[in-house]
């Protein structure tokens, strides 16, 4: 990664026509992609999640300027030029493309995000302005607005932003983390890593209207290379870091453009409905339920859930039937015509929290060589249970099921312990755990499924530190 950072600094120096010669220093940062080993898809239930920073990342360079304009130049993704070969999943580069062919430039007037006296616009107003721009510009503008609204930053002028994007898993969070880290360094804003990660989550949520959860932003800011970040999503407690056992690796596999995002909303609604029904069947008043369970189903605990709750919950419940017996939970939009998987949503919250804790314990125990292989195979079995629980709750990417099956059947003898569908917000379709020398075996299995299905698949591996640990380079 240091060599990759140095190459980006060379790009920054070559872009002196974009950066002002008299405006002062340029601040460069990097945000990694990410994937969740377990837990990320059930964030509405408050589960523990284990997030992994990938080796790919987005680079950003910013330079404050006196003119009240956010100028953004987006370079082509150096890893995504060309087409994906449907059999191998490898990109074939077009040698006739010119490096500047895909460079795009945009300008956002600062007064579009704040009044003349510096009062920031509302998030709704900002979203309306930024909706006219591509997604990457929306992220930059969203971070700028969130710094004004959440941290009371009053920018004296504007900023020039150079983006070298990454199209791999977790790219959205990586860009958000990189731009946030660079801006706080450039404008001397003091924020702890966790607070910076939460600012990124707020900006992404408010600028898009879709809550990405806290795991991705926190991994992209706070993680260290080679370590899983343990995040208790209630709403964002950091439980420390956990090194993978020696000789072990994680890979993310993206299928097509990644998994669909829409089912996450249905799970959010089903989880909120299940929380209300659990309070009802246990004769717990709403205020007492919040006191006991702090607003999250995962706090029910496995014993209470199995003894008193599971059998009493309907397998599914229509929005209309729920609205006849309860008010709409805050922040939730219920479609009366939709049937929601209430029991599976509750089970996912409770059981995924347990699985995440067990996986963390097994990975710690696997530091002992004598027990390592058995413990890692147990982790693989828990990943399979996680995958099944998510599918029952309507999550995951159906296109990934065949690859998960192939890895489960054929991967054990090839050094692959297991796989599961990941949180849709990561942009990956599934995560795979295995020996660090098993990537070729994984590619063979991916090729097999590609030949069967004709789908495009791409493997992303490696690991790198989050934006805070990577630091900021001043040019």
What pLDDT is stored for residue 469 in this prediction?
95
What pLDDT is stored for residue 35 in this prediction?
96
What pLDDT is stored for residue 286 in this prediction?
66
Q: CA–CA separation, 169 vs 131, rounded Å?
A: 23
Residue-wise pLDDT for 260-286, tens only, equals: 766 788 999 999 999 999 988 887 776
Q: What are phi and psi of 122, to 5 degrees?
A: -70, 160
Task: Give the strand pairing for 69-74 and 158-164.
Answer: parallel
What pLDDT is stored for residue 240 in this prediction?
96
Q: Which CATH architecture has domain 2-244+466-474?
A: 2-Layer Sandwich (3.30)
What pLDDT is stored for residue 224 in this prediction?
98
Transcribe 151-163 into DSSP letters. Answer: H----SSEEEEEE
What pLDDT is stored for residue 1 in this prediction?
62
Of 67, 473, 414, 84, the C-alpha closest to 253 is 84
Rounded to 5°, angle at Cα 213 from 59 and 172: 25
Task: Give the strand pairing for 83-84 and 227-232.
Answer: unpaired
Cα four-point dihedral sign 5, 9, 15, 20: positive
Report which DSSP code applies to 309: I
Rounded to 5°, angle at Cα 50 from 46 and 54: 135
Residue-wise pLDDT for 153-198, tens only, equals: 999 999 999 999 998 999 999 999 999 999 999 999 999 999 999 9
The continuous run of DSSP H or E covering 205 comes out as helix 193-208
Burial class (CB in 10 A: 0-12, 13-18, 19+), 339: middle
What pLDDT is stored for residue 289 in this prediction?
75
What pLDDT is stored for residue 292 in this prediction?
81
Distance, first Cα to last Cα, the chain: 18
Below-70 pLDDT ranges, the chain? 1, 22, 80-101, 261-262, 286
What pLDDT is stored for residue 288 in this prediction?
75
Query: Which residues, 6 or more positions from 468, have their beta carbon under 8 angstroms from its beta carbon?
Result: 181, 193, 196, 221, 222
- Read off the tokens for 299: 């706090």
- Read off the tokens for 310: 């599971």
β-sheet bridge partners, residue 183: none
428 in helix, strand or coil?
coil
């Amino acid at each position: 990664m240091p060599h990759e950072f140095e190459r980006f600094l060379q790009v920054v120096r070559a872009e002196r026509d974009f950066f002002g010669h008299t405006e002062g220093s340029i601040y460069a940062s990097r945000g990694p992609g990410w994937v969740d080993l377990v837990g990320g898809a059930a964030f509405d239930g408050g589960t523990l999640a284990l997030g992994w920073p990938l080796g790919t990342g987005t680079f950003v360079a910013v330079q404050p300027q006196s003119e009240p304009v956010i100028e953004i130049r987006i370079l082509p993704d150096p890893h995504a030029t060309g087409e994906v070969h449907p059999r191998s999943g490898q990109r074939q580069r077009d040698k006739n493309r010119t490096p500047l062919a895909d460079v795009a430039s945009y300008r956002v007037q600062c007064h579009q995000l704040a009044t003349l006296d510096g009062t920031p616009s509302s998030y709704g107003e900002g979203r309306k302005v930024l909706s006219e721009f591509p997604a990457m510009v929306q992220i930059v503008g969203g971070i700028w607005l969130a710094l004004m609204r959440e941290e009371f930053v009053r920018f004296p002028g504007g900023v020039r932003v150079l983006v070298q994007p990454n199209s791999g898993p977790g790219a959205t969070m990586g860009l958000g983390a990189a731009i946030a880290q660079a801006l706080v360094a450039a404008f001397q804003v003091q924020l702890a890593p966790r607070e910076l990660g939460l600012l990124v989550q707020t900006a992404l949520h408010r600028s898009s209207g879709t809550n990405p959860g806290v795991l991705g932003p926190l991994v992209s800011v706070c993680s260290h290379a080679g370590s899983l970040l343990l995040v208790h999503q209630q709403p964002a407690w950091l439980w420390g870091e956990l090194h993978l056992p020696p000789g072990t690796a994680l890979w993310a596999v993206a299928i097509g453009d990644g998994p669909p995002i829409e089912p996450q909303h249905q799970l959010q609604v089903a989880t909120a409905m299940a929380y209300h029904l659990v309070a009802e069947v246990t004769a717990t008043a709403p205020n007492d339920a919040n006191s006991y369970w702090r607003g999250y189903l995962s706090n029910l605990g496995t014993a209470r859930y199995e003894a008193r709750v599971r059998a009493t919950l309907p397998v599914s419940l229509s929005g209309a039937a729920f609205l006849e017996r309860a008010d709409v939970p805050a922040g939730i939009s219920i479609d009366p015509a939709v049937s929601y998987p209430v029991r599976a949503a509750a089970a996912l919250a409770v059981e995924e929290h347990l699985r995440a804790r067990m996986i963390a314990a097994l990975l710690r125990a696997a530091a002992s060589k004598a027990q390592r292989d058995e413990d890692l195979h147990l982790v693989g079995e828990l990943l399979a249970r996680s995958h099944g629980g998510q599918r029952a709750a309507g999550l995951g990417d159906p296109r990934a099921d065949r690859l998960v099956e192939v890895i489960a059947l054929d991967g054990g003898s090839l050094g692959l312990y297991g796989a599961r569908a990941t949180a849709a917000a990561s942009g990956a379709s599934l995560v795979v755990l295995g020996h660090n020398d098993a990537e070729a075996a994984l590619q063979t299995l991916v090729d097999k499924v590609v030949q069967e299905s004709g789908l495009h698949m791409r493997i992303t591996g490696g690991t790198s530190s989050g934006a805070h640990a990577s630091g900021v380079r001043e040019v």
